[in-house]
Structure 1
Amino acid sequence: MTRSGGVSQGEVAGLQCGFGAGDDDADVRANRRIVSETVLPGARLVTPYQVHSAKAAIVTETWAWENRPQVDAVVTDRPGLLLGIVTADCAPVLLADRAAGVVAAAHAGWRGAHEGVIEATVDAMTSIGADRSRIAAAIGPCIAQASYEVGEDFRKNFSMADDAGFFESGREGHWQFDLAGYVGKLLRQSGVSQPESVADDTYSATRADDGSFRYYSYRRATHRGEANYGRQLSVIGLAGPLAS
């Protein structure tokens, strides 16, 4: 989802779906209902407590908000559950094995991706019946390489094998990192043969009609000195009777 629509106001105006963004909680809940009803009417939205980890959880039922697990990917084979993750520059990854009826949503920032969240997600999917060769994956809007400047300390987290082709030289002592490309590589290494990417830059993409920004972006908000930044919500689910 982009930030178009929704009921939030102020700096995070639009379809702002993250709690902790200086937004009204009632507006966030309303925006989440808009997303849920647009994608899978009647479904129960399930979102984790994201911590930039390499952990994935298999979901069989909804959980109390205060008891949601600290993971960065959620996986299910239960119709009627809508899996969601929030992002604001990190890569949202949605995965599905239609034949097995298994879906997943993963939050892949550079750290989680580097530490194994993609591999953990695919492993969790296969543990409940998915086949790697059948999994389709889409990498949603995230910060693009042209907007993602990093320093030498950042690059040192990656081995030469890790970073091949994903760093371009920038200004002195800095690099431009290709997060979507890196996540795509990890998906292919996990057996997902042809991941697709939206290739839209959360930092810079604007609407054609009025020039306003299409997405929420942590880095852009920081560079502009804004007090808060919003989050977009990416969701995937299985149609069918609600899970009990």
Structure 2
Amino acid sequence: MKTIAIGVGENENIIQACHIFKEKHPKTNLKLIYRDEDLVKAVLDEKIHGVVRGSLPASNIMRELKENYPDISRATYINGDEYEFLLTPVGIDEGETVEDRFRIVEHCIDFLKMLGKKPKIAILAEGREDDFGRGEEVSKSITESKRLTKLIEENTSEEVKNYYILVEKAINDNCNIIIAPNGRVGNIIFRTLVLLNSWPSYGAVTFGMDKIYIDTSRDQSIEGYVRSLTLANDLDQLEK
């Protein structure tokens, strides 16, 4: 029987989500984990097919995972009736350089192609193009967004456009890979769309490792945790 491990922290939505998931997927075994270190062990356990962070704190888990998988990165998978996209970086210490973000873009491209989808990439910055000069950080972000766009154009065959700060236009244009200027901005976009406005998210897909690991917010809803468990279950079937 397939086994998916999920972390149980202070958010009891996890427990209810597990009951709902089991009703829909009775052939998948769920293993509830209550400590950070045990969740890391589950990722490394070959007998466990997928792992969902659930409501355990992320910092210790990601630190431990990076010791075994130094190239890991994450992208939140948001999917609704009228939109579907990967949003990244979303970890507050991720995507700090243009090179980091380009590596994440490559992972997102591979993931969407595995799902049979054509990538359409949007690059974001902390201002419009004509905001250059309105502060050092804004100018740096605009310059880096141009560099990243050019890097993607020169090294991939995928459609890419620099939307600067206009995230609403990127979503309206049905871009399915949205690259925030850094992980802090990406995290705020995620919280605004998913936790405040209830856009459906499957959690964050983790790249750069040979195991299915879905990262989730500690504040996610019951439905959100069900979607994360479903994604882990579906990805295991897809990879086979």
TM-score range, shorter chain: 0.3 to 0.5
The structure whose residues are more often helix, as a share, is 2
- The structure whose RCO (Cα within 8 Å, separation 6+) is larger is 2
TM-score by length of 1: 0.32
